[in-house]
Structure 1
């Protein structure tokens, strides 16, 4: 029996703790095949997906940790947390506070907060990580939105199988490192990454759950 969409979309979470066992090849292929049916502008399907597992995963983790210690961020697309002001900033701060509270991390415990942040580069223990690249077309906004639709479809395809994934802007901060380690052309631009696998339901991070605004807050109906 398939999971009703209303249940599926509400139960999907951005898990930040995973079991180490990798997915079998059939499950991985079928999940990606489902995700490939995501819509895109004129059916251009501009997503370029690179997945690391096994030894390749471990080498990339080591390279990312070294880059984080020795090099400044080198994202292909800008990100400025301070640019999120007003309600956007409020939601961003509330999300961070709720996550750290679930982990028992005090706001002023900067050492522990850094150790939590670095888990991004360990893929939160996930056995797989997908890196979503795109070709540069104009200002890239259209192709980036297509990649976003692929990513959401992939996340729902994982959730439908009892699996989980977490989109990570942080992984997009190391575009040169990822390209170098995976042998990817400089013409392909990294948007973000998704760590994925089986969620560790015993972890403190599993208890964290983000909230959503009421429909009326973000949607305006125009009838006349």
Structure 2
């Protein structure tokens, strides 16, 4: 299975509390729910298609608790999102949960990243990660992510937890698809393409044309 990350970000990279406030975090962030004004039919169609294509879901504790608190209560067979989320395998990474009761859920506590690598070796389409920012950052460090679907919302918050925070492993990405919703959310699909490459720009002596003067890979 291909490990695919689906994440909602602001223009300044914030991922925290996109769907609702999280006062229990007690970290001073007061702008929760910033994603809600950008929900539209385009986003619903994209999300439904992605989840319908998933053969499993990987999530951290907070995302698990958010999802099970909503989707596990929906039993309508015509609700594609609820049906897929309730029926498909779910793998929950947590050191604080004692058990996971949602149907077809497995708690991952020991040798987590070996377990994720093993899941990726299984047949199937996508193992999807929704939200779960801290988990995604660790998966990035282990170079386990095959694809990013980043939904960039046209809003700047100025503070909050960021997906690509200081200390993130340097990674070059290849843009493989892009879409835009009716409310201005840019949906970019990227795949890792190795380490970043670096160069320099210089002015030609004649015409003052800016050009790239070399391109060197990282060691």
Give the TM-score normalised by structure 1.
Answer: 0.23
Q: Which has the higher contact order (CA 8 A, sep 6+)?
A: 1
More strand by share: 2
Give the TM-score normalised by structure 2.
Answer: 0.23
More helix by share: 1
